[in-house]
Amino acid sequence: MAKLSLLATLLTVFFIPSSCCPDEQRQALLQFKSNFYSFFISNSSFDSSTFGLESWNSSLDCCAWERVVCNTRSPLKPVIALNLDSIVLMQSSEPMLVTSSVLTPLFRVKSLMLLDISSNYIQDGIPRKGFANLTKLVYLDLSQNSFNGSIPLELFRLSFLRYLYLSSNSLEGVLSPEVGYLQNLRTLRLDENFLGGDIPREIENLTKLQNLSLRHNEFSGGFPSSVLQLKELEELDLRENLFSMQIPGEIGKLSNISTLALGKNKLTGVIPTSVQNLSKLETLELENNMLSGEIPSWLFHMKALKNLFLGGNNLTWNNNLKIVPECMLSKLSLKSCGLAGTIPEWISTQKSLDFLDLSNNKLEGFFPPWLAEMEVGSIILSDNKLTGTIPPRLFRSLSLSVLALSRNTFSGELPANIGDANEIMILMLAENNFTGPIPTSIANIYRLLLLDLSGNRFSGNTFPAFDPEALLAFVDFSSNELSGEVPVTFSRETKILALGKNNFSGSLHKNLTTMSQLEHLDLHDNHISGEFPEFLSEIPTLQVLNLRNNSLNGFIPDTIYNLSYLQILDVSSNSLVGSIPEVLGDLIGMTETPNTLSSVSDVFTFSIEFNDLLVNWKNSIQGLSSHSLVIYSLLDLSKNQLSGEIPASLGHLKDLKVLNISNNKFSGSIPESFGNMDSLESLDLSHNELSGSIPQSLSKLLQLGTLDVSNNKLWGQIPVGGQMNTMNDPNFFANNSGLCGMQIRVPCPEEPSPPKTQDSERKETWFLWEGAWIGFPIGFFLSVLIIFLTGYLVPAPPPNRRRQRRRSISNFY
Ligand SMILES: *[C@@H]1O[C@H](CO)[C@@H](O)[C@H](O)[C@H]1NC(C)=O
Ligand SMILES: *[C@@H]1O[C@H](CO)[C@@H](O)[C@H](O)[C@H]1NC(C)=O
Ligand SMILES: *[C@@H]1O[C@H](CO)[C@@H](O)[C@H](O)[C@H]1NC(C)=O
Ligand SMILES: *[C@@H]1O[C@H](CO)[C@@H](O)[C@H](O)[C@H]1NC(C)=O
Ligand SMILES: *[C@@H]1O[C@H](CO)[C@@H](O)[C@H](O)[C@H]1NC(C)=O
Ligand SMILES: *[C@@H]1O[C@H](CO)[C@@H](O)[C@H](O)[C@H]1NC(C)=O
Ligand SMILES: *[C@@H]1O[C@H](CO)[C@@H](O)[C@H](O)[C@H]1NC(C)=O
Ligand SMILES: *[C@@H]1O[C@H](CO)[C@@H](O)[C@H](O)[C@H]1NC(C)=O
Ligand SMILES: *[C@@H]1O[C@H](CO)[C@@H](O)[C@H](O)[C@H]1NC(C)=O
Ligand SMILES: *[C@@H]1O[C@H](CO)[C@@H](O)[C@H](O)[C@H]1NC(C)=O
Ligand SMILES: *[C@@H]1O[C@H](CO)[C@@H](O)[C@H](O)[C@H]1NC(C)=O
Ligand SMILES: *[C@@H]1O[C@H](CO)[C@@H](O)[C@H](O)[C@H]1NC(C)=O
């Protein structure tokens, strides 16, 4: 880090122990400490020994305090560096926002050259006048706070400033032209703010700039030609902005550049040939733009090149090209670049390769033995046409941490030694043609976080028994041929367990509840028997519970009320009896969209230096919106033997989109309260014994697209108004006891006639049953089911959380 080396320089130049700092500076620092403490003393029980400021006390010379560096060469011994990063972070798990006024005393220490107050949850605007005082600053790090407002011009008048870090705040506005005053600036990092517009021309006045990062802002328009004047530039990071233009040929003038990262913009055109003049280029990151043309072979002759990311463009690959690389790559992404034929053999010459992404091409043939021997950290070959078995050699790797081979046609059994690869964190083998048992040795992979074996032909009734302390959070074995009892020995950390579409039988084991953080349990389409597993209500984190199409009997227990985050409950096609518990109407997850849900997708944002490997697992592939879990709140109790009246409390489920209680034995009338389910899009009450008339309140349901009340004993006028006027499919009203209305072109008599006798009506029901079935909204159900089966879908995390998670995940590396 630049700071460390700068500090080291400052220290070697200046630091001689035992000296005394100016009294007014010591007072200022003590004032700062006391301001800082006051935030916490008044607010919570706090432990002052955790701030890292314990040594700051009146009895000592401030040059000897921790986090303080003085210039001991100067007779006054002024304070020149303050390392105040992460003092709040160290303090609590539940961080408190500190206001920027806490910094005020520091602005009296005018001799400061280095000030780092990063990662402190400081909020409010950046104090303008204060920083105007610190004219000697060379290094200023304000990143990872909650500063808002615009960047004060005063910062740009600090003429000695060389390193400026403002990343991860909530700053706004266009970069000020005044930045041009900072003639000594060497590093400018403004990433993850919300800056927009064009990069100001004046940036070219920063002639000493070496590192420029404007990552994750909203800069748009043309590529700033002013940036091309920065001759000293070593690192240019403009990722995640809105730049839309061609990469200019003049890029070749940045002769000192070693990192050029332009990914996730809207760049068009070809990779300019002048790039080959960048003899120091180590990292070229152009992923996820709209670049086109053939990938130039000279890229592989650039001797310094180490990291090449070209995926996600409209680039093409000349499959006849014979490449003799002169570079030694450590990371290579050529995803969706049109590669065909076998995996290119020249890759085997890249002995230090650590990351290889060739997904979404047209590659065929076997998994190359040389690749299995190369000790690559991440191998991503999903969405190709590769065949054959996986060489056991691969799992003797000491480096393999990500293996993604989903959606190929690999076959055969998984090597029994798979558990030897104990660095694997992500193993995705979905939708291949693997057979045989799931190797029990997988349980030895302690760092495994995600295991997706779905859509294969795995069989047998032996399973890896994972350590409860393991990290494994996501398990998908669905759509295989597994049998025996449902395995329950997974990690306590498990968040998603998907075992649907197998041949599991027997009753569920209570040990399932050891997964006390489970959010998503999917066991549909198996042969699970026994009573409804009441113990599931001991897992209050459940958001999705799918037990569809099993052989469960017994009642739906009242304790289901404990599952307050439940958004999807599907127990259809079982043999459940009894009535619907009243408390089902209190399920908060279906009443209001909880926004506190933990979010699965952020776990898959791995920071791999210049490529955020965004393993979106299922949802990106399905092309579904990432909001689906929030959108879909579903309650499906259909095809059971449930009876009794429908509790009016169901009307509380304001967030419910789909309610299906068809094919049961419910009697009584349709509750008036159904008119309160504001979000309802589909309501299926068919094939029950409901009587009375359809409540007029249903016309309040403005989202309603499907209403099926067929095969009941309803009578009277079908309500009019709102969406009810569009419900004109007679099949959805068929086989009742005298419904009328304009929707089905049956005029209502002045005085509605009483229902017909039981006998004749039952006959009629039976008679027309087949016909009604044809009209059943199969398409709709199918689509909900597909969303359900494939949609392990979680809302995108708010930027702040994502950032933090990324930090913590990167600790795994
Ligand atoms: C500046 O960029 C170079 C080249 O990418 C890098 O090695 C160095 O660590 C960066 N310095 C800072 C302070 O970010
Ligand atoms: C306690 O913390 C809140 C913010 O979390 C802050 O607004 C308040 O000023 C603090 N109290 C004191 C006495 O500093
Ligand atoms: C000041 O700090 C030093 C070192 O942490 C400690 O030894 C000393 O007792 C402290 N003095 C007071 C008055 O707190
Ligand atoms: C700037 O420094 C002077 C003298 O040390 C001090 O009086 C003043 O309060 C400082 N300004 C700010 C805004 O802190
Ligand atoms: C900055 O944040 C503070 C506290 O959250 C707020 O009062 C203030 O209005 C914000 N300023 C701007 C410019 O957004
Ligand atoms: C930038 O440099 C130009 C020419 O050297 C000069 O005219 C202009 O005033 C400078 N702008 C700033 C903001 O320093
Ligand atoms: C490029 O970098 C080298 C050493 O890193 C330095 O000596 C030189 O001044 C820099 N500038 C240009 C324009 O080459
Ligand atoms: C590369 O640099 C040489 C001289 O350094 C120059 O003649 C040539 O035009 C440059 N090539 C490109 C493609 O910019
Ligand atoms: C990709 O490039 C081809 C020609 O190479 C062009 O026909 C096609 O429209 C481009 N697609 C996009 C999305 O730009
Ligand atoms: C899977 O393997 C079986 C033979 O083991 C073969 O019949 C079948 O065609 C394969 N399926 C695919 C999609 O390759
Ligand atoms: C499913 O398991 C049952 C026994 O529980 C067995 O009789 C049946 O053959 C299995 N079906 C398949 C497709 O494996
Ligand atoms: C259930 O858990 C208990 C205690 O942890 C353990 O002894 C038992 O073997 C487990 N049973 C199954 C089927 O996993």
Residue-by-residue DSSP string for 149-181: EPPPGGGGG-TT--EEE--SSEE-SPPPGGGGG
Global pTM value: 0.80
Q: How confident is the model at residue 44 (pLDDT cuts 50, 70, 90)?
A: low
Ligand 5 midpoint to CA 96 (Å) = 16
Q: How confident is the model at residue 169 (pLDDT cuts 50, 70, 90)?
A: confident
User: Measuring CA to CA, which residue among 412, 424, 370, 414 is closest to residue 392?
Assistant: 414
**Structure confidence at residue 345 (pLDDT):** 95
Residue 421 covered by a domain: no
Question: Under DSSP, is residue 666 helix (H, G, I), strand (E, B) or coil?
Answer: strand
Average the pLDDT over 719-748 and give the result: 91
152: domain CATH number is 3.80.10.10
Ligand 9 midpoint to CA 289 (Å) = 12
Average the pLDDT over 33-37 and give the result: 85
Q: Is 24 in the pocket of ligand 3 (CB under 6 A)?
A: no
Integer Cα distance of 780 and 706 in angstroms? 9
Residue 289 covered by a domain: no
The radius of gyration of the chain from alpha carbons, rounded to an integer in Å, stands at 32
**Structure confidence at residue 146 (pLDDT):** 83
Which ligand 4 atom is at minimum distance from the Cα of 132?
13
Domain's final residue, options 161, 192, 223: 192
Residue 377 covered by a domain: no
Whether 762 has a pLDDT exceeding 70, the answer reads no
Q: How confident is the model at residue 93 (pLDDT cuts 50, 70, 90)?
A: low
Residue 82 covered by a domain: yes
Q: Whole-number mean pLDDT of the chain?
A: 82
**Structure confidence at residue 203 (pLDDT):** 77
Domain interval for residue 69: 1-192
**Structure confidence at residue 3 (pLDDT):** 63
Whether 6 has a pLDDT exceeding 80, the answer reads no
**Structure confidence at residue 786 (pLDDT):** 31
Lowest mean pLDDT, pick from 243-252, 336-345, 443-452, 626-635 = 626-635
**What is the C-alpha end-to-end distance of the chain, expressed in Å?**
18
User: Measuring CA to CA, which residue among 333, 300, 295, 296 is closest to residue 314?
Assistant: 295
Residue 454 covered by a domain: no
**Structure confidence at residue 813 (pLDDT):** 22
Amino acid letter, 574: N
**Structure confidence at residue 753 (pLDDT):** 53
Integer Cα distance of 366 and 386 in angstroms? 6
Q: How many CB atoms lie within 10 A of CB 607?
A: 14
Residue nearest to atom 4 of ligand 12 (CA): 511
Average the pLDDT over 520-549 and give the result: 93
Q: How confident is the model at residue 689 (pLDDT cuts 50, 70, 90)?
A: very high
Q: How many CB atoms lie within 10 A of CB 38?
A: 11
Residue 807 covered by a domain: no
Ligand 10 midpoint to CA 433 (Å) = 6
Q: Is 124 in the pocket of ligand 5 (CB under 6 A)?
A: yes
Whether 290 has a pLDDT exceeding 80, the answer reads yes
Domain's final residue, options 132, 163, 192: 192
When divided into structural domains, the chain yields a total of 2
Residue 692 structure tokens: 């009375």
Residue nearest to atom 9 of ligand 4 (CA): 108
Residue 181 covered by a domain: yes
**Structure confidence at residue 285 (pLDDT):** 95
Lowest mean pLDDT, pick from 534-548, 662-676, 745-759, 761-775 = 761-775
**Structure confidence at residue 153 (pLDDT):** 79
Domain's final residue, options 125, 158, 192: 192
Residue 49 covered by a domain: yes
**Structure confidence at residue 615 (pLDDT):** 45
Whether 810 has a pLDDT exceeding 50, the answer reads no
Lowest mean pLDDT, pick from 299-303, 652-656, 667-671 = 652-656
Cβ atoms of residues 701 and 720 within 8 Å: no
153 versus 677: which is more confidently predicted? 677
